[in-house]
Amino acid sequence: MAKLSTNTGQSIEAVSARASGPWREAWRTFRRNRLALAGLIIIVFFILLAFLAPYISPYDYKEQVLTDRLQAPSAEHWFGTDDLGRDVFSRVLHGARISLWVGFFSVIGSIIAGALLGLVAGFYGKWADMLISRLFDILLAFPGILLAIAIVAILGPSLQNALLAIAIVNIPTYGRLVRSRVLSLRQEEFITSARTLGANNMRILFRHILPNSLTPLIVQGTLGIGTAIIEAAALGFLGMGAQPPDPEWGKMLSDSRQFLQKAPWTLIFPGLSIMLTVLGFNLLGDGLRDTLDPKMVK
| Amino acid identity at 218 | I
Say what the pLDDT of residue 5 is: 46
Share of the chain above pLDDT 90, in %: 34
Say what the pLDDT of residue 15 is: 44
- Confidence band of 23 (pLDDT split at 50, 70, 90): low
Say what the pLDDT of residue 209 is: 82
Say what the pLDDT of residue 286 is: 86
**87 SS3 class:** strand
**H helix runs in the chain, sequence order:** 2-19, 22-31, 34-56, 88-124, 126-140, 144-155, 159-185, 189-196, 201-203, 214-237, 249-256, 265-292
Say what the pLDDT of residue 295 is: 54
Say what the pLDDT of residue 143 is: 86
Report d(CA 194, CA 189) in Å as an integer: 9
Say what the pLDDT of residue 246 is: 84
Residue 136 vs residue 245, higher pLDDT = 136
What's the fold here for domain 29-292? MetI-like fold (1.10.3720)
Give DSSP secondary structure letters for 225-240: HHHHHHHHHHHHHTTS
Say what the pLDDT of residue 9 is: 46
* Range of lowest pLDDT (23-37, 93-107, 270-284): 23-37
Report d(CA 81, CA 68) in Å as an integer: 7
CB burial readout 99-122, b (16+ within 10 A) else e: bbebbbbbbebbbebbbbbbbbbb
Q: What is the pTM of this model?
A: 0.83
Residue 12 has pLDDT above 70, yes or no: no
Among residues 114, 67, 134, 57, the alpha carbon closest in space to that of 89 is found at: 57
Among residues 97, 103, 96, the alpha carbon closest in space to that of 269 is found at: 96
Say what the pLDDT of residue 2 is: 47
Among residues 125, 46, 128, 53, the alpha carbon closest in space to that of 90 is found at: 53
Residue 6 has pLDDT above 70, yes or no: no
Say what the pLDDT of residue 83 is: 86
Cα angle: 69, vertex 275, 71; to 5 degrees: 10
Residue 36 has pLDDT above 80, yes or no: yes
Neighbours of 189 (CB within 10 A): 7
Structure confidence by residue, pLDDT tens digits, 110-166: 999 999 999 998 888 788 889 999 999 998 888 888 999 999 999 988 889 999 999
Say what the pLDDT of residue 90 is: 92
Residue 44 has pLDDT above 60, yes or no: yes
Report d(CA 294, CA 26) in Å as an integer: 10
Instruction: Locate the domains of the chain by residue range.
Output: 29-292
Say what the pLDDT of residue 43 is: 94
Say what the pLDDT of residue 3 is: 47
Report d(CA 90, CA 77) in Å as an integer: 9
Residue 1 has pLDDT above 50, yes or no: no
Give the chain's radius of gyration (CA, Å): 24
Cα angle: 102, vertex 108, 109; to 5 degrees: 90
Structure confidence by residue, pLDDT tens digits, 127-138: 888 999 999 999
Share of the chain above pLDDT 70, in %: 90
